[in-house]
Chains A and B, each alone.
Chain A
Amino acid sequence: MKALILVGGFGTRLRPLTLTLPKPLVEFGNKRMILHQIEALAAVGVTDIVLAVNYRPEIMEKYLAEYEQQFGINITISIESEPLGTAGPLKLAEKVLTKDDSPFFVLNSDVTCEYPLKELAEFHKSHGDEGTIVVTKVEEPSKYGVIVHKPNHPSRIDRFVEKPVEFVGNRINAGIYILNTSVLKRIELRPTSIEHETFPAMAKDGQLHSFDLEGFWMDVGQPKDFLTGTCLYLSSLSKKGSKLLTPPTEPYVHGGNVMIDPSAKIGKNCRIGPNVTIGPDVVVGDGVRLQRCVLMAGSKVKDHAWVKSTIVGWNSTVGRWARLENVTVLGDDVTIGDEVYVNGGSILPHKTIKSNVDVPAIIM
């Protein structure tokens, strides 16, 4: 089987992290975002993956080569010379995707969920039509494009309603599809949207079905959602009793959902959790309080610091008695001085912060 992952740009919404690494290489739950998707695809027998990007991803090639080896798959990078929207990249990758007649998966690289690809492929095969899109239930459908099914049919899509004023349904496109190769005939090689052009046409022909997603779903394209998505991911691991999580019997684990890389060092009298991810080679000092935060590889949180709703970027240092909160994001190699308070600061790489950031601000 084959798959295409829509990566798009460098991920400016996830800056300052993406000033250092392209978004697919940013770790989510101590695993690079792209690896979550590659693993899920490889697990259902995908052998050829196309990464649709619109920048020159030199830094990615090294990692992708490693993953090709690890999973015994081929990864092709398809570079758009001009942005082709969400459908154009499929046409651009037609050669790989039409290698055989089997259907192919399409994933958005911003999305995290439990990737029920096996069930999706089975369901797609069972209805025999051209395409299936994964849908997720939302609380406020008025903010999204909502799916409306054919009368008296559980899965065949009738139409899409963009930001409905009146309730027409609560299922939205989750950004994960499985499509027959015939769909490529519907797409022209130009900037074009799969959501607004390809899918409505397929729905009109009765060729598009929906597949309900079990479990969590989150677009983690920006820091706030990255943190929320991490919470959902950790909760999901916790429910499954995953060994990736640190056992709650550890004295410092508070409220569960804590993932700590084995190479990280944790000091005395810390209180960690809930919803904390600690990456490789991280050093956490004594008396540190962490909750709802991500500490990227090589970062350091010194004694008595208090960190909440924050992403601490790679190799960054948080000073003693510092306090970070309210979606603070530290880029690579940032230093927060002792006793400094940062409220919703986005700190660009290699900066040193010596005085309080009292109100949310971008520190260039």
Chain B
Amino acid sequence: MSLQIPLRERSNGVAGATKAVILVGGASRGTRFRPLSLDVPKPLFDVAGHPIIWHCLTAIEKVPSIQEVYLIGYYEESVFRDFIKDASTQFPNLTIKYLREYQALGTAGGLYHFRDAILKGRPEHIFVLNSDVCCSFPLNEMLKLAQEKDAEAVILGTRVSEEAATNFGCIVSDAHTRRVLHYVEKPESYISNLINCGVYLFSTDAIFPSIRTAIKRRTDRPRLASYRSSENLASSFMLDDEAESEKNEVIRLEQDILSDMADNKQFFVYETKDFWRQIKTAGSAIPANALYLQKAMQNGSQELAPPSANIIPPVYIHPTAHVHPTAKLGPNVSIGPRATVDAGARVKESIVLEDAEIKHDACVLYSIIGWSSRVGAWARVEGTPTPVTSHNTSIVKNGVKVQAITILGKECAVGDEVRVQNCVCLPFKELKRDVANEVIM
């Protein structure tokens, strides 16, 4: 069974149809987003007043040639039903479908599995967006670069500090042509500070054959479990037969496709100078919230609360939330549906989720207050600010690594006058005494 790439004339200068795929993962993934992912799938977690993947859709909507968007993942069907219904009204120009993998196929494996659906209507290009990134998604710019260079693939890249670079996929590119010369996922030693943002544009002519080649290569010769460096080679091992057959179809874009593309394909990088963050740990929702709110402010969004003596912009307050006029909010605060913030409370650099309650004179800084949680009067729930450029959400305090952001899971309660600092609190816990630098089970 070979894939028939439909022949089609190149429309001179006129862009062909484009589709977008958002990789949403599944419930068994994203454990680092706990305790928040215990109650909501990470892609649907609200930052800046909207689910994480809603921000992807707003970017996708701005590409005129896109009409169809697929969410690919292995959550149950019902998980995205309401979201898709709401999104269809908010993004009337987009048709959004959820394609469920019944087993985790890997980021490339999933794409390949649903190739018939994706290729229907003969799109020239597909965008592939990882749902766990927060950025301005400059998709039109990527498409423009693809057309200029007649590229088979365009990857979104950003510069990070040298120390941080090795935690990501690293791109070596030609400074003039912007062609990708080399790609390596999480190298052990420093190779480049231009990293993979997890946003790609592929020509349909190139990506599916590339994946097929990778699958074929996998079947032909067993793969080394680890091949990062020569040092690792010694300790690497062959996957045993059983595991191999099971994992045969797991093909990941980053590890299995991009490196080859750098060798064989017209592969280019579009470097964004705008913000970019990964949303991995639950705490990373705080910088993501801040960045999306700032973007909304720059765009003059009408959704944001108007600045005043007690509103330091940007602040998002859901229309059904109750915020007392003497409470001071912001910057970078999102208040969810039906949440209440009482008189003289202070909320800064935080997310207050649905039905949560902040009592009078309480102070919430650098924290996420879970659904239906309650923060008592004069209580103080506090995280630690991390540098703007940091891609890390943990900090070292007294030699111990702790979460910078304080997170209260669903239906937690902090007593009156109690102080909670740098803690992660699992759902349904009541905190009656001061706690710091702990995970509360």
Closest CB in chain B relative to A275 CB, distance in Å: 15
In the complex, what residues of B have CB within 8 A of residue A304's CB? 344-346, 361, 363, 378
Q: Which residues of A contact B398 (CB under 8 A)?
A: 359
What residue in chain A is nearest B398 (Cβ atoms)?
A: A359
- Interface residues on chain B, number (Cβ under 8 Å): 20
Q: Is A286 an interface residue (CB 8 A)?
A: yes
Of residues 276 through 301 on chain A, the ones whose CB sits less than 8 Å from some CB of chain B are 286-289
A328 to chain B minimum Cβ distance, whole angstroms, is 13
A304 to B380, CA, bound (A): 11
Beyond known contacts A306-B378, A341-B382: 11 more, CB 8 A cutoff? A286-B344, A306-B361, A321-B361, A321-B363, A321-B380, A323-B363, A339-B348, A341-B380, A341-B419, A358-B436, A359-B398
At the interface, yes or no: B417 with Cβ under 8 Å from chain A? Answer: yes
How does the 8 Å CB contact mask read for B338-368 relative to A, with 1 for contact and 0 for none? Answer: 0000011110100000000000110101000
Measured CB to CB, the closest approach of chain A to B437, in angstroms, equals 9
Chain B residues within 8 Å of A130, by CB: none
- Residues of B with Cβ closer than 8 Å to A? 326, 328, 343-346, 348, 360-361, 363, 365, 378, 380, 382, 397-398, 417, 419, 421, 436
Most buried by B among A288, A289, A303, A306: A306
Q: Which of A324-347 contact B (CB under 8 A)?
A: 339, 341
Is the Cβ of A287 less than 8 Å from the Cβ of B363?
no
Cα separation A63 to B436 with both chains bound (whole Å): 46
The distance from the CB of B10 to the nearest CB of chain A, in whole angstroms, is: 59
Contacts of B378 on A, CB cut-off 8 Å? Answer: 271, 289, 304, 306
Provide the residues of chain B in CB contact with A320, threshold 8 Å. Answer: 328, 346
B397 in complex: contacting residue of A269, A271, A289, A358, CB < 8 Å = A358
- Return A337 CB to nearest CB of chain B, in Å: 12
Let me know if A287 and B360 touch, CB within 8 A.
yes
B436's nearest neighbour on chain A, judged by CB, is A358
User: What's the A-B contact tally at a CB cutoff of 8 Å?
Assistant: 50
Cα separation A358 to B396 with both chains bound (whole Å): 13
How many Å from the CB of B361 to the closest CB on chain A?
4
Contact B343 A306 (CB under 8 A): no
Contact B344 A323 (CB under 8 A): no
Give the distance to chain A from B230, nearest Cβ to Cβ, in Å: 44
Contacts of A359 in B (CB 8 A): 398
Closest-CB distance, A267 to chain B (whole angstroms): 10
- Could you say which of A287, A288, A289 contacts B343, with CB atoms under 8 Å apart? A287
Contact A323 B419 (CB under 8 A): yes
Q: Which residues of A contact B360 (CB under 8 A)?
A: 269, 287
Instruction: Enumerate chain B residues within 8 angstroms of A286, measured Cβ to Cβ.
Output: 326, 344
21 A-B pairs within 8 Å (CB atoms) are namely A269-B344, A269-B360, A269-B361, A287-B344, A288-B361, A289-B378, A289-B417, A303-B344, A304-B344, A304-B346, A304-B363, A306-B361, A306-B378, A306-B380, A321-B361, A321-B380, A323-B363, A323-B380, A339-B363, A358-B397, A358-B436
CA of A289 to CA of B376 in the docked complex: distance in angstroms?
A: 13
CB distance from A329 to the nearest CB of B (A): 19
B330 to chain A, nearest CB (A): 12
Which A residues lie within 8 Å of B328 (CB)? 320-321
**A123-137 Cβ-contact flags toward B at 8 Å (1 or 0):** 000000000000000
Instruction: Report chain A residues within 8 Å CB of B343.
Output: 269, 287
The residue from A289, A339, A341, A358 contacting B361, defined by CB atoms under 8 A apart: A289
* CA distance in complex: A271, B417 (Å): 11
Bound Cα distance from A359 to B400, whole angstroms? 14
Chain B residues contacting A339 (CB-CB under 8 Å) are 346, 348, 363, 365
CA distance A341 to B364 in the complex (A): 12
Docked Cα-Cα span, A304 to B326, in Å, equals 11
- Complex: A344 Cα to B96 Cα, angstroms: 56
C-alpha spacing A304/B397, complex, angstroms: 28
B382: chain A residues at CB < 8 Å are 341
Bound together, the chains give a CA A287 to CA B326 distance in angstroms of: 10
- Cα distance A306–B346 in the bound complex, in angstroms: 13
Q: Please indicate the chain A residues that have their CB under 8 angstroms from the CB of B344 in the complex.
A: 269, 286-287, 303-304
A306 near B417 with CB under 8 A, answer yes
A358 to B380, CA, bound (A): 13
Q: How far is the CA of A271 from the CA of B344 in the complex (A)?
A: 13
Residues of B within 8 A of A289 (CB): 361, 378, 417
Q: Shortest beta-carbon distance, B48 to chain A, in Å?
A: 22
Smallest beta-carbon distance B404→chain A, Å: 13
Closest residue on chain B to residue A326 by CB atoms = B434
Q: Within the assembled complex, what's the spacing in Å between the Cα atoms of A29 and B365?
A: 35
Question: How many Å lie between the Cα of A240 and that of B60 in the bound state?
Answer: 76
- Please, how many angstroms separate the alpha-carbon atoms of A263 and B361 in the complex? 25
What CA separation (Å) do A311 and B361 show in the bound complex?
21
Assuming the contacts A289-B417, A304-B363, A341-B380, asked whether A321 and B397 have C-beta atoms less than 8 A apart, the reply is no
CA distance A303 to B310 in the complex (A): 13
Residues of B within 8 A of A321 (CB): 328, 346, 361, 363, 380
CA distance A339 to B419 in the complex (A): 13
> What residue in chain A is nearest B416 (Cβ atoms)?
A289
Cβ-closest chain B residue relative to A308: B417
Nearest first, the 5 closest Cβ-Cβ pairs linking A and B are: A287-B344, A321-B363, A287-B361, A321-B346, A304-B361
Of listed B344, B346, B382, residue having the most chain A CB within 10 A? B344
Closest Cβ neighbor of A325 among chain B residues: B419
Kindly name the residue among A286, A287, A359 whose own CB sees the greatest number of chain B CB atoms within 10 A. A287
CA gap between A271 and B398 in the complex, in Å: 34
Least distance between B329 CB and chain A CB atoms (Å)? 12
Most chain A CB neighbours (cut-off 10 Å) among B348, B360, B365, B378: B378
Shortest CB distance A270–B (Å): 9
With A and B bound together, what is the CA distance between A339 and B346 in angstroms?
A: 9
Q: Report the minimum CB–CB distance from A24 to chain B (whole Å).
A: 35
**How many Å lie between the Cα of A269 and that of B327 in the bound state?**
14
Please, how many angstroms separate the alpha-carbon atoms of A269 and B326 in the complex?
12
A320→B436 CA distance, assembly (Å): 22
Q: B436 to chain A: which residues have CB within 8 Å?
A: 358
Looking across the interface, which residue of chain A has its beta carbon closest to that of B419?
A323
Residues of A near B346 (CB, < 8 A) are 304, 320-321, 339
Q: What separation, in Å, do the CA atoms of A359 and B419 have in the docked complex?
A: 14
Q: Distance in Å from the Cβ of A285 to the closest Cβ of chain B? A: 9
- CB-CB under 8 A from B348, the residues of chain A are 339
